[in-house]
Amino acid sequence: MEKQWFTISVYSENNVGLLNRISGIFLKRHINIESLNVSKSEIDEVSKFTIVVHTTEKWVHNIVGQIEKQIEVIKAFYHTDDETIYQESALFKIASGLLFDERQIQNIIKDSNSQIVTVSRDFFVLAKSGRRSEIDEMHDQLKPFGIMQFVRSGRISVSKEEMQITAMLTEFQE
Q: Give the binding site for another protein (CB under 8 A).
A: 12-13, 16-17, 20-21, 24, 27-28, 61-62, 65-66, 68-69, 71-74, 169, 172-173
Instruction: Kindly report the three-state secondary structure assignment for every residue of 58-119.
Output: HHHHHHHHHHHHCCCEEEEEEEEHHHEEEEEEEEEEEEHHHHHHCHHHHHHHHHHCCEEEEE
Q: Are 138 and 128 in contact (CB under 8 A)?
A: yes
Name the minimum Å distance from CB 127 to another protein.
35
Answer for the pair 127, 155: CB distance below 8 angstroms, yes or no: no
Give the nearer residue to another protein in terms of CB position, either 58 or 160: 58
Is residue 143 within a helix (H) or strand (E), and if so which, with residue range?
none
Shortest gap between Cβ of 69 and another protein (angstroms)? 5
> How far is 152 from 114, CA to CA, in rounded Å?
14
8 Å CB contact between 81 and 5: yes
Task: Considering the complex, state which of residue 32 and residue 173 has its C-beta at the smaller distance from another protein.
Answer: 173
Decide whether 24 or 97 has the Cβ nearer to another protein. 24
Q: Provide, rounded to whole angstroms, the least separation between the CB of residue 73 and another protein.
A: 6
Minimum Å gap between C-beta 10 and another protein is 11
In the bound state with another protein, the residue whose beta carbon lies nearer, of 27 and 167, is 27
Q: Which is nearer to another protein, 41 or 114 (CB)?
A: 41
Q: Closest distance between another protein and the C-beta of residue 173, in Å? A: 7
